[in-house]
Amino acid sequence: MKNKAFILKVALFATGLSGIVAEYILATLASYFLGDSIVQWALIISLMLFFMGVGSRITQYIKKNIFTTFIFIEFTLSLFVSFSALLAYSTAAFSIYAGVMIYFMSMVTGLLIGMELPLAVRLNESFEELRVNISSILEKDYYGSLLGGLFFAFVGLPYLGLTYSPFLLGFVNLAVAIAMLNLFPTILKTKTRIRINIVAALVLAIILTGTFNARQIIFFGEQNKYKDKVIYSAQTRYQKIVITEWRNDHWLYLNGNLQLSTYDEALYHEVLVHPAMALSKTPAQILILGGGDGCAAREILKYPGVKNITLVDLDPAMTDLAKTHPVLVEANDSALFHPKLKIINLDGYKFLEDTRQYFDLIIIDLPDPRNVELSRLYSREFYTMCRKQLRLHGVLITQAGSPYYAAESFRCILKTIEAAGFSAIPLHNQILTMGEWGWVLGVNDSIPDEQIKSELFLASFDRVETRWMNNEAMYLITSFGKDFFIDPNDSIKINKIHDPVLYRYFLKGSWDLY
């Protein structure tokens, strides 16, 4: 009896691991395809928990064949979990209903997981008394969930990615079913057990077929999503990195969002770097937050007076790629190998909290603030820390999205930087592959906007090689018309850690027009 109870608990430990990782995989898929990770994780986890309750309720109507039902639930779970990513990518390739598919899989997976525990308790009631039965079954399931979380964060997502992690979970559920089926030989008749083992072999064959073809299927789905030829795709611990190719140019995407195109990235990076360099009195010690592609560093290194560049980017896979992939190495002119540059793979917020370094210039080249996590890197608290690490008259510049497609978001960033104590002006430029784009330039000093502009107008580029930027461009990038896209009655709030309004402004933007 004790051996059978132990086997059942080991099985529950394994299904607990598989169940929690299935939730995380579906939540990650929803974030990748639908955006706004906080909302998607909340919806997916809540939806699965609700349907776990529905599954638990359904089991009260199962009065016989409990063991067989449990086995077939594991078979079904193994198939659903294994093919979750493939179904999401395939749906996205042929329709706009990837979200519907992901939510449907979440409901079915939650329903099946919810049926596991009540059935396991009923199977175990002949081996242990009620108080030990329930506590030990739940205990092993919860312990498995902890290991599942650790697996997903440190092994599954960074090493197996969304391609193979689901199949590994499918094998876990299938292994539980096969083990239970053959280690409890007296529960079923021999003929019935043989028939179910044949079904298990069929399920195994299906999962193995999916495993061997998963990469091609997911690649096909991604290829349809990006249209241009995908030449590189990788899921890191932090993000999905994709590089596409069209003719002789390349596009870099992070989590499905365009970061740069070699066709016109100079129109972005030259505005990001050169106005700030022109405004800085002594640009010797420079901090780049983000910018893992290396293109901002390339522009900074054109100035011989620069002594040190510290580049802080969260994802080591991104900076490694910028040092090894020929497309990015050519784009950044091997900037990340320069002896003046030091790479630190750390969260930018954490770096500013811990550093004792002071800088003449801080360049912030981070992804758009489309969720709460990224929004904190555009908060008043974040810019206040930046100001503390800047020397007097030091300069800060950040990319700020589009002043027209996301006018409220752009204005929010400007107001937030000013609230942190900077004198700041907006900049903008037309980038063909990204649309009208904007930046906010701030000075750690109390000076009028017109004085900042006047100093920019005096900038000379005779000794700096640029593809687009010149003195005339300084007049263009600082010139705005009236606030055409912002209602004068609207009150744009400052973005704060405890009141993250920016990501809502950003998501409310008119991106569909572009």
User: pLDDT at position 58, please?
Assistant: 94
Q: Where are the alpha helices (DSSP H) in 59-97?
A: 66-82, 84-94
With the CA atoms of 460, 461, 467 and 469 taken in that order, what torsion angle do they form, in degrees rounded to the nearest 10? -20
514: confidence class by pLDDT, cuts 50, 70, 90: low
User: pLDDT at position 316, please?
Assistant: 96
* 207 touches 82 (CB < 8 A): yes
In this prediction, residues 136-154 reach a mean pLDDT of 87
Q: How confident is the model over 396-415, as pLDDT tens digits?
A: 999 999 998 899 999 999 99
Q: How confident is the model over 107-134, as pLDDT tens digits?
A: 999 999 999 888 888 887 777 777 777 8
Whole-angstrom Cα distance, residue 243 to residue 325? 10
- Please tell me whether the overall predicted TM-score, pTM, comes out greater than 0.75 for this model: yes
User: pLDDT at position 3, please?
Assistant: 65
E strand or H helix that includes residue 288 = strand 285-290
Radius of gyration of the chain (CA): 27
- 439: nearest Cα among 272, 269, 293, 200: 272
Whole-angstrom Cα distance, residue 16 to residue 52? 13
* 376 touches 497 (CB < 8 A): yes
What does each C-alpha distance from 313 to 46, 83, 346, 351, 389 come to in angstroms?
32, 33, 6, 10, 17
Domains of the chain and CATH, by start: 2-226 (1.20.1250), 263-513 (3.40.50.150)
**pLDDT > 80? residue 36:** no
* 162 touches 25 (CB < 8 A): yes
Pairing type for strands 423-431 and 249-254 reads unpaired
Whole-angstrom Cα distance, residue 19 to residue 495? 37
In this prediction, residues 10-22 reach a mean pLDDT of 85
Q: Which amino acid is at 9?
A: K
User: pLDDT at position 4, please?
Assistant: 66
CA 93 to chain centre: 20
Q: How confident is the model over 358-404, as pLDDT tens digits?
A: 999 999 999 999 888 899 999 999 999 999 999 988 999 999 999 98
In this prediction, residues 180-200 reach a mean pLDDT of 85
b/e string for 272-303 if b means 16 or more Cβ within 10 A?
A: bbbbbbbbbeebebbbbbbbbbbbbbbbbbbb
Whole-angstrom Cα distance, residue 181 to residue 36? 42
The catalytic residue positions are 365
